Amino acid sequence: SCCLNDIVADLTEELAELAAVTDIHLSSQIPATEIYVMGQESQLYRLVSNLMANAIQYTPTGGSVMVSLAARDRAATIAVKDTGIGIPVEAQSRIFERFYRVNSDRSRKTGGTGLGLAIAKAIVQRHQGHLTLQSEIGSGSLLTVSLPHIHI
């Protein structure tokens, strides 16, 4: 089993510098109660890291990225919300494909490989979870991971 609280806290600290470079406010909401899921810690770390780094990468200077962790019923949820550029409706079904980029010019400039979200989706599926996207052009995106929650 793996504690999601530690992963989110560690990554918020680790990625704070990356966010600060472009004046992005990175914050997290982590409950006092520890939330556990079954899975490989290294994989789950990579999952959350990819989602957070992606949000930071596509959020303009002065924006914000908020990561929140919660447990409801039998699901643990990790939500990454940004005030980024948003994803056009026609691209939303494709952003989890390998090498797909909404705007290749922008991705080249920001150094994206087009693999981050595809890897994230594969990790979520391997852990019997779900990854959903809500996005609006100009007002950002919300990526939510739902994983089976275990009570310890």
* 55-88 per-position pLDDT tens digit: 998 899 999 999 999 998 889 999 999 998 888 8
Instruction: Using alpha carbons, list the distances in angstroms from residue 125 to 38, 118, 128.
Output: 13, 11, 5
pLDDT surpassing 90 at residue 108: no
Helix axes 116-126, 41-57, angle to 10 degrees: 150
Asked whether the beta carbons of 65 and 59 are under 8 A apart, the reply is yes
Q: What is the CATH number of the domain that holds 91?
A: 3.30.565.10
Least Cα distance to 88 among 144, 145, 139 occurs for: 139
Asked whether the beta carbons of 17 and 56 are under 8 A apart, the reply is no
23 Cβ neighbours under 8 A, 6+ residues apart: 61, 62
Record the pTM.
0.87
What's the total number of domains in the chain? Answer: 1
Asked whether the beta carbons of 142 and 134 are under 8 A apart, the reply is yes
Rounded to an integer, what distance in angstroms lies between the CA atom of residue 145 and that of residue 100?
20
Residue 99: domain span: 2-150
Q: Using 50, 70 and 90 to split pLDDT, how confident is the model at 110?
A: very low
Rounded to an integer, what distance in angstroms lies between the CA atom of residue 66 and that of residue 28?
5
